[in-house]
Amino acid sequence: MGVILGIESSCDETAAALVDGARRILAQHIASQDEAHRPYGGVVPEIAARAHAEKLAPLIEATLADAGMALDDVDAIAATAGPGLIGGVMVGLVSAKALAMATGKPLIAINHLEGHALSPRLADASLEFPYALLLVSGGHCQVLRVEGVGRYRRLATTIDDALGEAFDKTAKILGLGYPGGPAVERLALEGDPRAVPLPRPLVGSGEPHFSFAGLKSAVLRAKDSGKYRDADLAASFQQAAIDCVVDRLKIALASAGEVTALVVAGGVAANRAMRAALERLATEYALPFVAPPLSLCTDNAAMIAWAGVERHAMGQSDPLDFVARPRWPLDPDAAAVRGAGVKG
Ligand code: KG4
Ligand code: ZN
């Protein structure tokens, strides 16, 4: 029953956590960089890397202190090794390598997406493979069949923007600042989801992929027209996004084979309207719906430590010369899709 130290630094959250094989989060700390990036309306990679470098070591110390543990009590050190902003990833990975080298403990290089994909199993001990996972964050928008640790079949991906990115861009159009998802969700509560006619890109298509670029452009045109209230724009955008996700998921589920549950993970899983729609879909398909608590949905180190627990239990570790990977698809066999660029 190992204790794993997890380190996360792939985007704009610096985080450390200690998790054990009994699914206990012994301690964790997260330092958000929202304030540093807010003036720019998005994450600035250079600022992010510097902030990770400043904050990570004290965060790891504080996490160990909270758990009343020393590095010697840890069984392995797991760090996000990609995909993500390479400067930040390198800060976390190099720190993990240094700790592993100094203590002689194994290093486990974690795919950030695997962290998200396995996090529901940290929250729910009864969740068995294979499950269908909707992974929706700022950088990623995929449906995966999670068949085991390290075994993923990608059923769908986005051909342009990720869903969180669409929320963030809509927030920017509406002048709501960064990060955009929670702000759009709050404003949408005061709006009418039917007030603004917006497109549902790819809805009705036989391929399960996502597209949000056209939706974002339509929000921009509607805003520029001056005809609509911002709250109505936010609510209508959110509804269009949810309609797209539900329609696309239905196509993906048709090719998923047997699954034990419909699971959602990633930052956008924090959206309550999205969760409610997914729960209805799961009920329709007679599947249990699993959504980790919000604190495990957005970027965190507990999910990285947990992926470390799962890999450590299988006897896996990585060499100290493991190279950070800015791109790292979970399913290397997935066919490239039209227009898909940097989304893995
Ligand atoms: O998983 P995450 O913390 O980081 C990435 O790996 O990208 O996801 C962050 C994304 C951002 O785009 C943010 O706007 C979105 O998740 N998000 C939300 C909500 N909370 C966070 N989107 C919609 N509604 C929310 N409540
Ligand atoms: Zn993430």
Predicted local distance difference test score (pLDDT) of residue 42: 76
In whole angstroms, give the CA distance from residue 151 to residue 314.
13
Sign of CA dihedral 310, 312, 315, 321: positive
* CATH fold group of domain 129-291: Nucleotidyltransferase; domain 5 (3.30.420)
Token readout for 83 is 């995909």
Residues within 6 Å of ligand 1 by CB: 11, 137-139, 164, 167-168, 179-182, 185, 266-268, 270-271, 298-299
User: CA 26 to CA 309: how far, in whole Å?
Assistant: 13
Res 46: pLDDT: 84
* Residue 40 pLDDT: 78
Closest CA to 259 of 279, 284, 288, 283: 288
Ligand 1 centre to CA of 257 (Å) is 29
Residue 296, token pair as written in the block: 């495990």
The Å distance, Cα 112 to ligand 2 centre, comes to 7
Identify which of 167, 178, 187 to mutate to test ligand 1's pocket (most ligand atoms within 8 A of the CB). 167
Q: How many Å lie between the centroid of ligand 1 and the Cα of residue 112?
A: 14
Burial of 319 (0-12, 13-18, 19+ CB in 10 A): exposed
Torsion of CA 159, 162, 167, 171, to 10 degrees: -90
Rounded distance between C-alpha atoms, residue 111 and residue 325, angstroms: 9
Rounded distance from Cα 317 to ligand 2 centre (Å): 22
Query: What is the CA(167)–ligand 1 centre distance, in A?
Result: 8
Tell which atom from ligand 1 comes closest to the C-alpha of 13. Answer: 3
For ligand 1, atom 13, name the residue with the nearest CA: 181
Cα–chain center distance at 256 = 21
Phi, psi for 343 (deg, rounded to 5): -90, 5
Burial (CB count within 10 angstroms: exposed 0-12, middle 13-18, buried 19+), residue 214:
middle
Q: What is the mean pLDDT of the chain?
A: 94
What's the CA-to-centroid distance between 296 and ligand 1, angstroms? 12
Q: Where in the chain is the domain with CATH 3.30.420.40?
A: 3-117+296-328, 129-291
Cα separation, 137 vs 10, in Å, equals 13
Q: Which residue, by CA, sits nearest to atom 1 of ligand 1?
A: 267
Closest-lying ligand 1 atom to the alpha carbon of residue 112:
6
CA of 155 relative to ligand 1 center, distance in Å: 21
Site to substitute for ligand 1 among 268, 299, 343, most atoms within 8 A of C-beta: 268
How high is the pLDDT of residue 339?
60
Residue nearest to atom 18 of ligand 1 (CA): 181
Question: Which of 11, 298, 330 is the pocket-test mutation for ligand 1 (most atoms within 8 Å of CB)?
Answer: 298
Tens place of pLDDT per residue across the chain (344 aa): 699 999 999 988 899 999 999 999 999 999 888 888 888 777 888 888 898 889 999 999 999 999 999 999 999 999 999 999 899 999 999 999 999 999 999 999 999 999 999 999 999 999 999 999 999 998 889 999 999 999 999 999 999 999 999 999 999 999 998 779 999 999 999 999 999 999 999 999 999 999 999 999 999 999 999 999 999 999 999 999 999 999 999 999 999 999 999 999 999 999 999 999 999 999 999 999 999 998 898 899 999 999 999 999 999 999 999 999 999 999 988 887 766 544 44
Protein residue with its CA nearest to atom 3 in ligand 1: 298
Q: Which atom of ligand 1 is nearest to the CA of 171?
A: 14
Q: Measure 20 CA to ligand 1 centroid, in angstroms.
A: 26
- Long-range CB contact pairs, 25-28, < 8 A, 24+: 25/122, 25/302, 25/305, 26/66, 26/67, 26/69, 27/63, 27/64, 27/66, 27/67, 27/69, 28/63, 28/300, 28/301, 28/302
CATH assignment of 3-117+296-328, among 1.25.60.10, 3.30.420.40, 1.20.1250.20, 3.40.50.720: 3.30.420.40
* pLDDT given at position 338: 64
